[in-house]
Structure 1
Amino acid sequence: MLLQQALASGQPAITAEVTPPRGADPSRTLAAAAALRHWVHAINVTDGSRAVMRMSSLALCRLLLDIGLEPVLQMACRDRNRIALQADLLGAHALGLRNLLCLTGDPVRAGDQPGARPVNELESVRLLQLVAQLNSAQDPVSGLLPDGGTAFFAGAAADPQSPSWSGLQSRMRRKQRAGARFVQTQMVTDATALRRFVDEIAAPLGLPVLAGVFLLKSAKNALFINRVVPGANIPQRLIDRLAAATDPAAEGVAIAAEQVASYLEIAQGVHVMAIKAEALIPRILAQAGLAPLQPAAGLEHGDHGLSAAPPAPAPAAVALGREVSS
């Protein structure tokens, strides 16, 4: 439980994110995750993000465990009723998964199969309540679970740049009362908004925050994200900076590294998202002044150096991939 230990100790907590494959072969996704082994405490696996059909998050999380990586199982409510959600939670626990991020889920109309029927019996707050009941070995309908309860470390998502501050306050209070023990935010581009969220909402609730950092590959990529990702609002100043750069890919890495360094002065950790460019995450973290979790000198896995960072191992020739579209 490296993530839980890092958050409990107060040291900088670093997570990243991978997206399950659109097919039955997970090898490329597992290779991308393995490259992050010495740089992050845990790796999130998205669950039907943007309502696009992909491999099960639960299955890929188990495969990450098999290669010695700590996963965070993202679980969205959109596609399952409470019976299916409880079944998957019990199954995930039996398979060794402990970290959860409870989500409502993106609307079906945003995805590649808009004719699919959403379920939406629960949403993220009620899912957190359900997890808390299972952690207490309770079936919410019939009482005590005869074969034992769970021990999940459950987190919640938040958008510090939400246009409704009172709504954000109310919802985070509900999530904390429902059992959330940490927060991973959506992409943050405004450090002032992040600081206000941490100081006025998360800290009073006792919730450690991992601030979301999203790698932008070009001005075109930034405009695409603004258009298709619910809630995204990349400011024009960053779009202009990418457009003016002679090497937009390197500029995107520089922007992400600056955000990591800035946000770690405000929040307890960062959550780095680099879709189809996960191999660049070590470069981002090193450029931000972080050292590997387990450098050659022999520190215990989970120790995170904040100075004398070695050069990032990501090679200069790493391909950034095409624009995010699925």
Structure 2
Amino acid sequence: MTSYPPLTTFRRAAQAGEFLITAEVAPPKGCDPTHMLEMARLLKGRVHAINITDGSRAVLRMSSLVASAILRQNGIEPICQIACRDRNVIGLQADLMGAQALGIRNILALTGDPVKAGDHPTARPVFELESVRLLQLIQKLNAGFDANEKPLPDGATDLFVGAAVDPQSGSLSGLQRRFERKLAAGAQFFQSQLISDFDQLEKFMSHVAAGCNKPVLAGIFLLKSAKNAQFINRCVPGVHIPDHIIERLDRAADPLQEGVRIAAEQVKLARQICQGVHMMAVKREDLIPQILDLAGVPPL
């Protein structure tokens, strides 16, 4: 059997307090990973790890665990997203132990988007756990026990687990309670939703995340046009792209390049506020190195 020793660049950088850079890449909606690998290879040396989404927006795609394993086999460090929507506690544990066996150590624990939002709206959702209880489950596996408190015969897992956070949530007290619950459940890093209000991010960092000693990565989204920004305002709860950004995109001779400049400006802002950025450039991951260059972020 082929053995794949774990890649731990992301964990080492996080624990060393480095400014962290991750990027999101979706698995294919099919069986051919070629395009996913091409995008991931373009990001090698520019990001500490690549997030592989798990049925984002409840849309069918290749298994995040399998896609992460393909990246791992190609020497690219993945962060494997695991959502509770599609698995019961048996399936969740099975995939987490499988990740360990494949040398995949970074896990992002998510509740998952509602089934009705996706392309199989009549599918049956599971949601036996949600993100906090999934974190608690991983904490047990890392201590050498399964969900029933039975010892794992082959020893404990060694998973470096993170969680999502939304600094733009309307209720700061509710946000603080959930953030603290995720910390207590073992979250070692946090990746945020798309950030459009950096004053809110700064408030979150000073009032909620201060002193937690766990890195928070701000979500930076590449806006491709004014129409794209308006779509996000209509369809993504809790996000409001400011009018002045939409106007910039609308006036630009090349809206995509204007979006690249806006994202670079946001990376610069994030470097002053938090410990990292999580880059999201749906279908244009090839532009992420250009954004980082404009932001003055050197290769790793």
The answer, yes or no, to whether TM exceeds 0.5 is yes
Q: Tell whether 2:227 aligns with 1:202.
A: no
What do residues 204-260 of structure 1 show as CA deviations (whole Å, max 9, x unaligned)?
322211111000000111122233334332222211211111110110000000000
> How big is the shift at 1:142?
4.3
Gaps of 5+ in 2: 1-7
Picking from 7, 12, 34, the partner of 2:19 is 12
Deviates more, 1:250-259 or 1:194-203: 194-203
CA separation of 1:11/1:83 partners in 2, compared to 1, >3 Å: closer, same or farther?
Answer: same
Other structure's SS at 1:253 match? helix
Tell me the matched-pair count: 293
Instruction: Note if contact 1:36-1:281 (Cα within 8 Å) is conserved in structure 2.
Output: yes
What root-mean-square deviation, in Å, do the aligned CA atoms of Structure 1 and Structure 2 show?
1.0
Map 1:229-244; keep pairs closer than 5 Å: 229-244=236-251
Q: Tell whether 2:55 aligns with 1:48.
A: yes
Distance 1:100 1:229 in 2: 24
Distance 2:210 2:162 in 1: 15
Distance 2:119 2:237 in 1: 15
Instruction: Note if contact 1:77-1:85 (Cα within 8 Å) is conserved in structure 2.
Output: yes
Instruction: Note if contact 1:202-1:208 (Cα within 8 Å) is conserved in structure 2.
Output: no
The residue aligned with 1:103 is: 110
Map 1:263-282; keep pairs closer than 5 Å: 263-282=270-289
What do residues 268-292 of structure 1 show as CA deviations (whole Å, max 9, x unaligned)?
1100000000000000000000111
Q: Tell whether 2:165 aligns with 1:121.
A: no
Gaps of 5+ in 1: 294-326
Q: In structure 1, give the amino acid aligned to 2:48.
A: H
Instruction: Note if contact 1:38-1:292 (Cα within 8 Å) is conserved in structure 2.
Output: yes
Distance 1:142 1:246 in 2: 61
The residue aligned with 2:143 is: 136
Other structure's SS at 2:239 match? coil
Deviates more, 1:210-219 or 1:235-244: 235-244
Instruction: Note if contact 1:189-1:234 (Cα within 8 Å) is conserved in structure 2.
Output: yes
Deviates more, 1:222-231 or 1:279-288: 222-231
Distance 1:110 1:237 in 2: 29
Q: Tell whether 2:74 aligns with 1:70.
A: no
Distance 2:130 2:147 in 1: 16
The residue aligned with 1:182 is: 189
> How big is the shift at 1:263?
0.3
Instruction: Note if contact 1:242-1:252 (Cα within 8 Å) is conserved in structure 2.
Output: yes
Instruction: Note if contact 1:50-1:229 (Cα within 8 Å) is conserved in structure 2.
Output: no
The residue aligned with 2:199 is: 192
Distance 2:66 2:238 in 1: 28
Distance 2:299 2:156 in 1: 35
CA separation of 1:59/1:114 partners in 2, compared to 1, >3 Å: closer, same or farther?
Answer: same
Instruction: Note if contact 2:191-2:218 (Cα within 8 Å) is conserved in structure 1.
Output: yes
Q: In structure 1, give the amino acid aligned to 2:192.
A: T
The residue aligned with 2:29 is: 22
What is the percentage of aligned positions where both structures have the same residue?
59
TM-score, structure 1 normalization = 0.88
Instruction: Note if contact 1:160-1:194 (Cα within 8 Å) is conserved in structure 2.
Output: yes
Distance 1:195 1:230 in 2: 20
